[in-house]
Amino acid sequence: MLVTKGRRRLREGAAVALALALSLVTGGLAAAHAEEDAPLPAQEAAQAQQATLRELADQRGLRMGTAVGSQYLNQADYARTAATEFNSVTHENDLKWETVQPQRGQFNWTNADRIVDFAQQNDQMIHGHTLVWHSQLPSWVRDGSFSEDQLLDVMDTHISTTVGRYRDDIATWDVVNEPIGDDARFRDSVFHRTLGEDFIAEAFRMADRADPDARLFINDYNIDGINAKSDAYYELVRDLLAQGVPIDGIGFQGHLIAGQVPSSIQQNIQRFVDLGLEVMITELDIRIQMPATQQKLEQQARDYEQVVNACYAVEGCSGVIVWGVTDAYSWVPDTFEGQGAALPIDGNYQPKPSYWSIHEALGGDPGPGPGPDPDPTDPPSGECEAEYTVTNQWQGGFQAQVTVTAGADLTGWTVEWAFGGGERVSHAWNASVTSSGGSVTATDAGYNGTLSAGQSTSFGFVGTSSGSVSEPELTCAGS
Ligand code: G3I
């Protein structure tokens, strides 16, 4: 049984304070090996010194979550990996209506509580999934014949009981899941049949009454890029906001296929953020046609990097949740015949190339996998050098990356430049950036300040531009 210990829930940013404590916890994937008596092979020893994804995300105040199943938490490797690599958990199935209230008025919290307790023991955030969904509904709801008032009463009981129970524990909820089909029209369900599209606004009002502090999301798949379905969501949430419905965010589930990540994902995140919503990538996996080859895994790594970078480039995209701890626990092979290997950690708890591409996107090292290695034999002649690359451009804005390479052993660095064409930095990562007009000073973010001669690190930013985007002259000073 859950013991409520005051308001323990963590919000983005609060997790940062955990980084130090976590570094005392076992060292991520390599921990499974580090606990054995035998000396570590070189590659594993190198991994043991790497920060975990959780530590990197905590340092940046971002969510890096996973979906978990209560039935697996008694497996030591599973529990350790879920706790050390992720700062957020989502109930993959254990909070769904059919599990929580299988018969009318009979609530069963056993499995849901196990995950809440696990998250609290490990100081993790919880993203609540899900309250109103056409699927995994008990038959008494799915096939029920209700008047409007009766169904509103059924919804209110379910939502107020569930959200009320976890008021102190769960800070964000998928209130309504998948209400629109791939045809961009409202999906048939008992909710839509009985109440029309108003069931969505009603569900959000009910959740808000049950916990006015919770952040409330609508959530769906195939809305990651700009397309007819995400356009329908754009219209829907704009209407909900105009009606004063308490909706705070939208979840892009991100069930994707390797090599087919929509190129408009960042632009799509940005347009929902511009409406005033928080965006979260809530169920990310990127599936591969089996068998997985090195080439396919490298494509998948680039895909993960693209999604993670798209989120982290937009202030207002609060993070990413992957849909399972390892490939062994993914829903993909059960649903898509011949496809799998969709997650960043394989079934033997080994990091895949996509683990390392996320690691790098979060400001860590690219790991032992593919990726440009610094050339330690050829350091620059001064304290450091900085190279500026514009990586993306659009009307009124751009994204750039700066790579700092140390010429001597450094404990910190500062890069300065002046924009020539009216550009301005609006949101940076992996560096602390201050601007005065077009003059910019970027200093290391602490965790990436220490570089040995020849070693490199990168930071990036999104900027605004009023005309052309130039590549300015940089100066780099080390300490
Ligand atoms: O609990 C029964 C178990 O008793 C039985 O022995 C077993 C036999 O197959 O089935 C078990 O139920 C399965 C359940 O997961 C729990 O493991 C169901 O068959 C299976 O269909 C169900 O799949 C889940 C699916 O939602 C249902 O729609 C997946 O695990 C879960 O990952 C998936 O998650 C959804 C999100 O909630 C919403 N977005 C899409 C995402 C992927 O489909």
Is 174 touching ligand 1 by the criterion CB < 6 Å?
no
pLDDT value, residue 407 = 92
Is 289 touching ligand 1 by the criterion CB < 6 Å?
no
* Alpha-carbon gap, residue 206 to 212, rounded angstroms: 10
β-pairing, 475-478 vs 249-252, is: unpaired
Structure token digits, residue 424: 């301005």
Asked if residues 220 and 253 have their Cβ atoms less than 8 Å apart, the reply is yes
Which candidate, 356, 366, 264, 359, places its Cα nearest to that of 314?
A: 264
The beta strand positions in 105-210, using DSSP E, are 125-133, 172-177
Name the catalytic one among 55, 178, 202, 305. Answer: 178
Is 169 touching ligand 1 by the criterion CB < 6 Å?
no
Secondary structure (DSSP) of 32-90: HHHTSSSPPPHHHHHHHTSPPHHHHHHHTT-EEEEEE-GGGTTSHHHHHHHHHH-SEEE
* Alpha-carbon gap, residue 82 to 94, rounded angstroms: 16
Is 99 touching ligand 1 by the criterion CB < 6 Å?
no
* Alpha-carbon gap, residue 205 to 185, rounded angstroms: 22
Is 331 touching ligand 1 by the criterion CB < 6 Å?
yes
Angle (CA) 239-243-246 rounded to 5° is: 95
Q: How far is CA 24 from CA 27, 51, 55, 59, 287, in A?
A: 8, 11, 11, 15, 34
Tell which atom from ligand 1 comes closest to the C-alpha of 253.
39
pLDDT value, residue 372 = 40
For atom 19 of ligand 1, the residue with the nearest CA is: 334
For atom 32 of ligand 1, the residue with the nearest CA is: 331
Cα 337 to ligand 1 centre (Å) = 15
Pick the CATH number of 384-478 from 2.60.40.290, 1.20.1630.10, 3.40.50.300, 3.50.30.30: 2.60.40.290
The pLDDT tens digits of the residues spanning 402-445 come to 888 999 999 999 999 999 888 999 877 668 899 998 999 999 87
Cα 136 to ligand 1 centre (Å) = 8
Is 389 touching ligand 1 by the criterion CB < 6 Å?
no
pLDDT value, residue 51 = 95
Name the catalytic one among 55, 85, 278, 283. Answer: 283
Which parts of the chain register pLDDT below 70?
Answer: 1-49, 368-378, 391-394, 429-430, 447-448
Tell which atom from ligand 1 comes closest to the C-alpha of 323.
32
pLDDT value, residue 37 = 36
Tell which atom from ligand 1 comes closest to the C-alpha of 129.
37
pLDDT value, residue 381 = 80
Cα 97 to ligand 1 centre (Å) = 13
**Ligand 1 probe mutation, 93, 98, 218, 339, most atoms within 8 A of CB:** 93
pLDDT value, residue 118 = 98
Cα 93 to ligand 1 centre (Å) = 6
Is 253 touching ligand 1 by the criterion CB < 6 Å?
yes
Residue 327 DSSP symbol: G
Cα 177 to ligand 1 centre (Å) = 15
Q: Is 178 a catalytic residue?
A: yes
For atom 14 of ligand 1, the residue with the nearest CA is: 93
pLDDT value, residue 377 = 46
Which candidate, 477, 332, 371, 343, places its Cα nearest to that of 415?
A: 477
Q: Domain segments of the chain: what residues?
A: 14-361, 384-478
**Ligand 1 probe mutation, 110, 285, 331, most atoms within 8 A of CB:** 331
Residue type at 185 in one-letter notation: R
Domains 14-361 and 384-478 share a fold: no
Asked if residues 279 and 318 have their Cβ atoms less than 8 Å apart, the reply is yes
pLDDT value, residue 427 = 74
Architecture of domain 14-361: Alpha-Beta Barrel (3.20)
Tell which atom from ligand 1 comes closest to the C-alpha of 130.
37
For 251, other C-beta atoms within 10 Å of its C-beta total: 25
Which candidate, 459, 468, 479, places its Cα nearest to that of 413?
A: 479
Is 282 touching ligand 1 by the criterion CB < 6 Å?
no
For atom 29 of ligand 1, the residue with the nearest CA is: 331
Asked if residues 297 and 343 have their Cβ atoms less than 8 Å apart, the reply is no
pLDDT value, residue 391 = 63
Which candidate, 178, 184, 172, places its Cα nearest to that of 136?
A: 178
Report the Cα 304 to chain-centroid distance in Å: 11
Which candidate, 446, 411, 451, places its Cα nearest to that of 430?
A: 446
Asked if residues 219 and 251 have their Cβ atoms less than 8 Å apart, the reply is yes
Cα 112 to ligand 1 centre (Å) = 15
For atom 15 of ligand 1, the residue with the nearest CA is: 93
Is 93 touching ligand 1 by the criterion CB < 6 Å?
yes
* Alpha-carbon gap, residue 79 to 334, rounded angstroms: 22
Is 120 touching ligand 1 by the criterion CB < 6 Å?
no
Is 71 touching ligand 1 by the criterion CB < 6 Å?
no
Cα 322 to ligand 1 centre (Å) = 16
For 334, other C-beta atoms within 10 Å of its C-beta total: 8
For atom 35 of ligand 1, the residue with the nearest CA is: 92
